Amino acid sequence: MKRIRGISSALKRQENIVTKDKHLSLPGKVVLPLGYPHVEMSPLVQVGDRVFAGQQIGEDQNGVLPPLRASISGIVSEIKPWLGYSGHMVLSIVIESRSEDAEETNSEKLEDKTDAQDILKLISQAGIREVDDHAWPLALRIAKPEIRLQHDSDDQSPSLAQPIEILIINGMDRQPGISVRRRALSTREKSLLEGIAILQKVSGAKRNILTVYKDYPISGDFEKGLKELGVEIIRCPNKYPIALEPILVKFVTGREVTRPTWDTRMVGTVVVDVITALRVLEAVRDGSTTFETMVQVSAPSHGLDVYVHTPEGIVLEELLGRLLTVDIRISKAIVGGAFLGYAQQDLQVPITQEMDAVILQAGDEFSPYANHSCISCGDCVRACPMRLLPNELSKYCEYDKFEEAEKADLFSCIECGICAYVCPARRPMVQLIRFGKSEIISAREES
């Protein structure tokens, strides 16, 4: 373990805010994107069809992405491209809620299935999607080489054929201001132990680790339970971006994940966050295929900070409408957190499993970027967790010197945003770096 670079996670914490849980009733409609901008799935339903909560409504023909399942019962009203949270259009299925249709669907349950292969099948069919970006979807990533999923056996990636040595259960939140994982960890310790046991069985890892922040209080019972499962607790510094996969793996195991795939299986390691571990348990133990997502909605200027439990696919406008009793003035709505999220142009974005936070900012809260030249102070160089020279990269991208930028390891950048956070000249570092990356990628596609 070594010192990590970054910034303290305990940023501007307002002590007077009491964070509560809030369970929302069924939304009027949900929007469920079919995959992602470059990996789309095909719909299994048509407009006008009746669907039940948990029913599979989309599949990936390549068999990589987990199936898409309806989060509520109702009628498919539209299938059309919808603006996703990162600003790309994705073909999405819109379901209008019909409460009279709500009924229990038959789902497979574990019962007496204890075979790792069967457990894996349940996990892969549950449609679990994650907040973190991983090289492989959950079911492929956590499976030991002996229990490959059938449809995947013909073109097995070499990294997936390697045994899993280390399983990291990550109890740390991705970025400052978000605490959903700590919340899940502290409220559902017992379930988490069961979830970890399942993951241990499927992964066959020799070493099991739970990572938490240094100041996180672990109860005696939980500690005992972890000991029984053979899980070590590793306490990490309370520093952003420790919870991001490449940095976490490097910190905990000393192994370096490499680009361009950032595939942790190459170094025999798997990272699963605690919320995903709990979903795995629900899928296996209860046969649950309908997911409530937990999203933290905070408006620091209004003292609002709530963990909202809602069926996935609820549109942000409806979510806020239910949540906010008073009309508050919002000038920026950020989905996905203050460092890794995206500011939205309207409130039509669906809140899916990939999102753990919504931040609402008022007019006086933002930090506008400036069109100032780099003053070469080097603050970003000393803060960059990937040991890059962001000052140089931003200059290369600003002046269209993309080849030089690529040679200077532009693609090692994980866009954590620390350089922009510390920049005294307020340069839009992430913007410049993303611009450079997209220019290089489109130039490659043309040639």
Partner 1 sequence: MKRPEFYVSVSPYMHSGNSIQKIQFQTIAALIPALVAGWFFFGWPALKIVAISMIAAIAAEFIWQKALGLPVRIGDGSALLTGLLLGLVLSVEVPWWLPVLGAFVAVLIGKQIFGGLGNHPFNSVLVGWSFVQISYKELMQYFPAPEPAFLIEPGEYLIDTPLITLREEFDMIADVPWLDFFIGNVPGTIGTVSVLAVLLGGAYLLSRRIITWHIPVSFILSAWIFGCIFWRIDPDMYADPTFHILSGWMMLGAFFLAPEKGTAPVSAPAMILYGVGCGVLTMIIRMWGGYVEGVPFAILLMNSLTPLLDRIRPRAAGRTREIA
Interface residues with partner 1 (CB under 8 A) are: 7, 11-12, 176-177, 246-247, 250, 256-260, 262, 330-334, 338-347, 359, 361, 366-369, 372-379, 381-382, 385-389, 391-392, 408-409, 412, 415, 417-418, 420-426, 428, 430-431, 434
Smallest distance from partner 1 to CB 29, Å:
16
Cβ closer to partner 1: 163 or 363? 363
Smallest distance from partner 1 to CB 56, Å:
33
Smallest distance from partner 1 to CB 207, Å:
22
d(CA 174, CA 80): 32
Cβ closer to partner 1: 4 or 75? 4
Crossing angle for the helix pair 189-203 and 274-281, nearest 10 degrees? 80
Using an 8 Å Cβ cutoff, are 212 and 394 in contact? no
Smallest distance from partner 1 to CB 359, Å:
7
Using an 8 Å Cβ cutoff, are 397 and 440 in contact? no
Cβ closer to partner 1: 44 or 362? 362
Cβ closer to partner 1: 240 or 291? 240
Smallest distance from partner 1 to CB 315, Å:
14
Smallest distance from partner 1 to CB 15, Å:
18
Smallest distance from partner 1 to CB 262, Å:
7
Strand partners, 299: 304
Smallest distance from partner 1 to CB 42, Å:
31
Cβ closer to partner 1: 91 or 389? 389
Smallest distance from partner 1 to CB 7, Å:
7
Size of the chain in residues: 447
Cβ closer to partner 1: 80 or 259? 259
Cβ closer to partner 1: 288 or 361? 361
Cβ closer to partner 1: 34 or 266? 266
d(CA 321, CA 341): 21
From the list 353, 330, 325, 324, the residue with the least C-alpha distance to 343 is 330
Cβ closer to partner 1: 52 or 339? 339
